[in-house]
Structure 1
Amino acid sequence: MPAASTRFADRLILLLGGALLVATLVVAAINLGDDGGQENAVTEDTNAVATDTVTIKEFKYMPPAIRVKAGSKVTWVNDDTAGHTASSRMGADIETETIAKGERKTITVPDKPGTYDYICDFHPYMEGRVIVE
């Protein structure tokens, strides 16, 4: 093999190896930032906050659980880098449609007291809860 061809092959191998290394690092960084929703999981009603506003930031609903009066209005504010929703897991009791970055959506919660769990349609590991009293 001529010297020029050998240099080209060596450079190609280095380039492909570098690209593979970069891709591996990117995937690792993404996975390190994804807690699988465990930190945001809603498990107890005792941690619910009495508020009518939920902020979405860093792919989490904050606070993850709220308490409101039956028939009241709740607003979700998207301070995140991606679009999100707040959608009931069962039925259509909580449904905001897509909330783009920087937008807010307000809905009227059900008149019936109860616990309404919701997720983001795009990021189902994001979990929240509305406790209607």
Structure 2
Amino acid sequence: MPRSFPAGAARFIVATACALVLAASTACSNGGGGGGDRPTESATSPATDIGGTKITIKDFKFRPASLTVRPGAKVTVINSDTTAHTLTASKGSLFDTEDIAPGKSATITAPARSGDFPYTCTIHPFMKGTLTVN
């Protein structure tokens, strides 16, 4: 006698199978699941401001930790962590997001002059990064 599944279990199995097929087809259309020629973003690799730049906060780290932008560039800071954070210039009051709640974002403007501008999270001072403007 064939065994039947409860309706909820059958829907779960079908939904899971569909999600796996979709994930596999997306990986194939994007060049595979890894090891390809696509560059990957490192937590410390510099990036340039090309029509908008972002820094993501995740696992109590700024990603990327070092970012290069043009003078006056807008930088969006996204808090993908589980607690509030800030991104605040270490010296002077050049930029400060104030508290960013989990899942929220804020925007800073890079200084108008060239240089290296270290920053930190004022809530978690061990979190550090550098904004390079040139």
Count of paired positions: 89
The SS at the match of 2:122 is coil
TM-score under structure 2 length normalisation:
0.63
After TM superposition, the structure 1 = structure 2 runs for residues 79-118 of structure 1, keeping only pairs within 5 Å, are: 79-118=80-119
After TM superposition, the structure 1 = structure 2 runs for residues 1-133 of structure 1, keeping only pairs within 5 Å, are: 47-51=45-49, 52-133=53-134
Higher relative contact order (CA 8 A, sep 6+): 1
Shift of 1:109: 1.1
- CA offset digits 1:57-103 (Å, max 9, x no partner): 00000000000000110010000000000111110112111110000
The SS at the match of 1:49 is coil
* Alignment-derived partner of residue 28 in structure 2: none
Confirm or deny: 8 A CA contact 1:94 1:116 kept in the other structure. Answer: no
Question: Which one has a larger percent helix, Structure 1 or Structure 2?
Answer: 1
TM-score under structure 1 length normalisation:
0.63
Confirm or deny: 8 A CA contact 1:55 1:76 kept in the other structure. Answer: yes
Shift of 1:117: 0.3
Q: Which runs of 5+ in 2 are unaligned?
A: 1-42
Q: What letter corresponds to residue 70 of structure 1 in structure 2?
A: P
Confirm or deny: 8 A CA contact 1:78 1:103 kept in the other structure. Answer: yes
Q: Percent identity?
A: 38
The SS at the match of 1:80 is coil
